[in-house]
Amino acid sequence: MGSNFLNVAANGFTVDTVTMVLVGVFVVAMLLAAFWYDRWLVVHRPPSPHEPQPRSGAWQTREEYGRPTPSDHGPGHQDGDPVEYESYDGPHPEMPRDGHRYLPEEIAAMRSTVDETERRQPPVSEKAEPARSGSVPPDRGPGAV
């Protein structure tokens, strides 16, 4: 790019250099026109509606439902106990406290409770027998894929 300017200085303006300058001026003019047009659109855009918009169903008042509702209906009238938050910061009671840093796959392999362990293990009848070398599994014959 630097040598192009040196050639222009040495040889004067040629058709190529005039074309490059005109294309550059045209591109800049188009960018300025696009910016001006965007500003013009923003100024002449119709204003947004200022009337109240309908609310979603969970936040409608009893009158907006179109049918009678009980007075204890809506947010703040749920039955049940208040929410209680736990504040226990210690390690999980089932994690071993041996100072070892466990990987996720090591934690997944640990036996956490009897119920989960029983649920993960298949029944005795479905357990696969250990494969003997040179034997073919009973459900697959030779040549089975």
Could you report the per-residue pLDDT of 74-95, keeping only the tens digit for each? 666 666 666 777 777 766 667 7
Instruction: Give the percent of the chain with pLDDT over 70.
Output: 42
pLDDT digits (tens, 9 = 90+) for 98-120: 888 888 888 877 765 445 445 45
Q: Is residue 8 part of a domain?
A: yes
Q: Is residue 137 part of a domain?
A: no
Q: Is residue 64 part of a domain?
A: no
pLDDT at 108: 77
pLDDT at 114: 46
pLDDT at 123: 53
Q: Is residue 91 part of a domain?
A: no
d(CA 33, CA 27): 10
pLDDT at 99: 84
Helix (H) and strand (E) counts in the chain: 4, 0
**Across 34-49, average pLDDT:** 90
Q: What is the mean pLDDT of the chain?
A: 71
Q: Is residue 72 part of a domain?
A: no
d(CA 66, CA 17): 74
Q: Which residue segment(s) compose the domain that 36 sits in?
A: 2-44
Q: Is residue 93 part of a domain?
A: no
Q: Is residue 66 part of a domain?
A: no
Tokens of 91: 């390690």
Q: Is residue 10 part of a domain?
A: yes
Domains in the chain: how many in total?
A: 1
Q: What is the pLDDT confidence band of residue 18, given thresholds at 50, 70 and 90?
A: confident
Based on its alpha-carbon atoms, the radius of gyration of the chain, rounded to whole angstroms, reads 39
